[in-house]
Amino acid sequence: MANKLRSAVELLQTTVSELTLSEANWRSFLSTASMNYKYSFANQVLIYAQRPEATAGASIDFWNKRYKRWVKKNSKGIALLDDSGADLKLRYVFDVTDTHCYHDETFKLWQVREEHQESVIKSFADNFGEISHLDFKQNIEQIAENLTVANEADYLAELLEAKENSNLETLDEIKIQEALHQTLKNSVEFMLLNRAGMADEIYKNSVKFPYLTYFNTLDTVTILGTAVSEIAQI
């Protein structure tokens, strides 16, 4: 187990170091993370590294008891970090594609249909601030902005402490705040729209992250990724 744990940690660190090398890498990660939004940033990275196409990961116990689905023979679990106890250890989850049901193979992922959009936006507005647009995508963009403004201060403080040896060192504090804000806002918007099933390839390729490569150390990428993961868990 020690070797497997060490391998998982090394995989995590290696993958984190590659996430911000390009916008394509970051978009690819966000696509996976948006479908596995309930997990921590570290475990989103591990899911991305092992099964980037995963859309719904859960333990065997969860699949058996909640959905009456069983993991297929010879399926390989996705190794995640478990820090709930005194010592760090591994736990394993399986994607829905690893499971089957004897009576009904249908498993529908959560999605926002057109008839649900109005109630979804109303709920978001009640919880996350005023929304003034009529178009659903514009509403999501405003929500991402509201969430970023409301939550970025703590992450900025961490980033300023961790900027040493990163490209952020070349920026002043105001520019670092701008870099964090813009990257957070666009990332959260991307995740929300992708999770809602409304991020087609044209949209995905149009989203830009001009400050992404300034986050180029393990610490700065981890702070950025954690911020995105936690803000997008709505």
pLDDT of residue 115: 63
Return per-residue pLDDT of the chain as tens, 234 residues: 689 999 999 999 999 999 999 999 999 999 999 999 999 999 999 999 999 999 999 999 999 988 888 899 999 999 999 999 889 999 999 999 999 886 666 656 555 566 656 676 666 666 666 666 667 788 888 889 999 999 999 999 999 999 999 999 999 999 999 999 999 999 999 999 999 888 899 999 999 999 999 999 999 999 999 999 999 987
- pLDDT of 135 reads 76
Q: Which tokens go with 173?
A: 């504090």
In 66-140, DSSP assigns E strands to: 70-71, 78-82, 89-95, 99-100
Residues 125 and 3: their CA atoms lie apart, in Å, by 47
Burial class, 119, CB count within 10 angstroms (exposed 0-12 / middle 13-18 / buried 19+): exposed
Q: Structure tokens of 37? A: 């939004």
Q: Name residues whose C-beta falls within 8 Å of residue 227's C-beta, 6 or more positions apart in sequence.
A: 151, 152, 155, 180, 184
Distance CA 96, CA 38 (A): 15
For position 43, what pLDDT does the model report? 98
Q: What is the pLDDT of residue 29?
A: 98
Q: Is 206 exposed, middle or buried (0-12, 13-18, 19+ CB in 10 A)?
A: exposed
Contact between residue 180 and residue 171 where contact means Cβ atoms under 8 Å apart: no
User: Please, what is the angle between helix 218-231 and helix 173-195, to 10°?
Assistant: 50
Query: Is residue 11 packed enough to be buried (19+ CB in 10 Å), middle (13-18) or exposed (0-12)?
Result: middle
Alpha helices, DSSP H only, in 20-85?
23-35, 41-50, 60-66
For residue 126, CA distances in Å to 41, 139, 191, 207, 208 come to 27, 13, 20, 27, 29
Quote the strand ranges of the chain, DSSP E.
57-58, 70-71, 78-82, 89-95, 99-100
